[in-house]
Amino acid sequence: MNLCRVLLLAIGSLCLAVTASADNISASYDEDGKYFTADDVPTFKVDADGTVDWYTFSGFRRYHAECHVCHGPDGEGSTYAPALKTSAMDMGYYEFVEVVVNGRKVVGAAANSVMPAFGDNPNVMCYLDDIYVYLKAHGSDTIGRGRPGKKHPKPASFKEAEDACMGG
């Protein structure tokens, strides 16, 4: 099993019961261009001129490479799957990770849906925080639909983490 998946499963299992603070969007600090809330949850940063942080831009790219087929462009949802921009706002980070890693099956009289597990897909798992922050930025209406027009440069630490996760 992929080390990243093992760590995310362990972290997600430990943190599902943790109550998030009332402000689960505002950036409290950053580590080399990656922003976090006061609860150490990844979040986005958008400058007054609309420039997004690199991770939000990366999340837009990765979302549209892996997720939009089911969940629709810009996380707006489809007749097949719900709007992830809404899910990112309604669920906590660790629940979001849990669902993406392990999948989810909902069966009922009025609905039957299956979210496959992506825990073994490095194209999702290596960029899961990026996808999450992109969906939070769009779900909070901080950024609109479509490709962000301006972005901060890619931090060196992003490239290092990407290479390590993708086996490069």
The pLDDT tens digits for 42-96 are 999 999 999 999 999 999 999 999 998 888 888 877 887 877 888 888 888 999 9
Confidence of residue 168 (pLDDT cuts 50, 70, 90): low
Domain 3-14+52-166 in CATH 1.10.760? The answer is: yes
List, in sequence order, every residue forming a beta bridge with 22; answer none if it has no partner: none
Name the least confident of 10-24, 42-56, 146-160.
10-24
Confidence of residue 27 (pLDDT cuts 50, 70, 90): very high
For the chain, give every domain's residue range: 3-14+52-166
The structure's pTM equals 0.83
Instruction: Give dist(CA 115, CA 16) in Å, integer.
Output: 19
Six-digit token string for 69: 């087929």
* pLDDT tens per residue across span 106-127: 888 777 788 899 999 999 999 9
Return the beta strands (E) in 2-158 as ranges: 29-31, 34-36, 42-43, 104-107, 112-115
